[in-house]
Amino acid sequence: MPDSRITDSPTAEENEALIGRAELDDLEAILAISNTDVDEVIHTVKDEADAIFTWDYSLARPALRKLYEKAKVGQWNSTTDLPWDTDIDLEKVVSSDQVAIAAGLDPNHYDGTVLESWGDKEWLDYGIQNRKWTLSQFLHGEQGALLCTAKITETVPWYDAKLYASTQVVDEARHVEVFARYLDEKMGGGYQINAHLRMLLDDIINDSRWDMTYLGMQVMVEGLALAAFGYMHQLTDEPLLKKLLRYVMSDEARHVAFGVLSLKEVYEHMSDAEMKDRQEFAYEAAVRMRDRFMSQEVWERMGVNPRDVLPIVMRDPTRDMFQQMLFAKIVPNCKKLGLLDRNDQWLRHRFEEMGVIQFEDLEDTGTEYIKFELETAG
């Protein structure tokens, strides 16, 4: 007999429909989604959207045109601008970064668990695998962004936005290139795409509504990426990675601004029902990204059953802080777009449940890209 306490609440029912499980933290359901075809090379997704021409070439959206001008002068060359000849001792780099963040987890939190027997060597190995995994997911996400911005160039009906989106295609190509090269040359290879991330990218590509590509990619995926890149940039002393991330961030901040500036105009005029669809999509995206940070593949690679350790990881305060920080850009941007509070504060309540609502009043990313420009880089 099903547990009526769980299945009868309206949130549980909505969760079933949106994310495929009643409880946000249902670990079994999260782990049940995994990449079962790690040798897959080609992955095909049906793109349901129309390609749209516009014959109106007038300057209708000066903010987007300004961003386009910024993008033209903000280009950099991934081959010549980064110090690829840097010699990297992976163990040294990761162990020095771990001094700053205690492996991203607090080893003391694992007394009495399967990790109790881990010494420095195991924690360091975990750190290296985790770094490879994290950069690999950045890489796959970048390819998602490459496909999404090519799609936006075709599907957005506004001339100014088509111009801008075309520059982002080049930016994303560069990002794919630098992460792939770093993983190959400096880390000895990476990981396949995480299944939760792949589900999210598939949903974004598949959706026929042009604004959903923006919402899924520019606001949610890139919002999270900007926060995650910023964290790693601050943390690492490895000079090539630090510079690589700094350069990528200068582009990413423009990309998030592109999403916020474009969607603000669209969402101001939407009905409650239309906005509900967007709120649900944003929630689903947030949950998929949260699920992927269980990094189940890393535990498997370390010979640990994720089921034995993740219930404790989920309560690790060090990790919890990191997990929340990933939403520091997403939440204020959702607020600016009116997504938090429409329909009886539907998304606000979901973000409260996820423990990330505290970021709502941080600076949104509509103009923040100015701070990330390379000329002003510290």
In the complex, the residues that contact Fe ion under the rule CB under 5 A are 142, 145, 172, 175, 222, 252, 255
Contacts of residue 343, Cβ cutoff 8 Å, sequence gap at least 6: 272, 275, 276, 279
What's the one-letter identity of residue 14? E
For the CB of residue 65, give the shortest distance to Fe ion in the complex, in Å.
19
| Residue 208: burial class (beta carbons within 10 Å; 0-12, 13-18, 19+) | exposed
For the CB of residue 104, give the shortest distance to Fe ion in the complex, in Å.
22
For the CB of residue 138, give the shortest distance to Fe ion in the complex, in Å.
8
Contacts of residue 236, Cβ cutoff 8 Å, sequence gap at least 6: 93, 97, 242, 245
For the CB of residue 142, give the shortest distance to Fe ion in the complex, in Å.
5
Our CB check for Fe ion shows the closer of 98 and 137 to be 137
> 215: helix, coil or strand?
helix
Dist CA 167 CA 146 (whole Å): 11
Our CB check for Fe ion shows the closer of 232 and 309 to be 232
Please state at what angle helix 120-155 crosses helix 222-235, rounded to 10 degrees.
Answer: 140
Q: 310: how many CB neighbours lie within 10 A of its CB?
A: 19
For the CB of residue 253, give the shortest distance to Fe ion in the complex, in Å.
9
For the CB of residue 250, give the shortest distance to Fe ion in the complex, in Å.
11
Give how far the C-alpha of residue 18 lies from the chain's centroid of Cα atoms, to the nearest Å.
19
Which of 223, 203, 206, 323 minimizes the C-alpha distance to 263? 223
For the CB of residue 148, give the shortest distance to Fe ion in the complex, in Å.
9
Contacts of residue 63, Cβ cutoff 8 Å, sequence gap at least 6: 261
Our CB check for Fe ion shows the closer of 97 and 172 to be 172
Vertex 29: Cα angle to 28 and 34 (nearest 5): 95
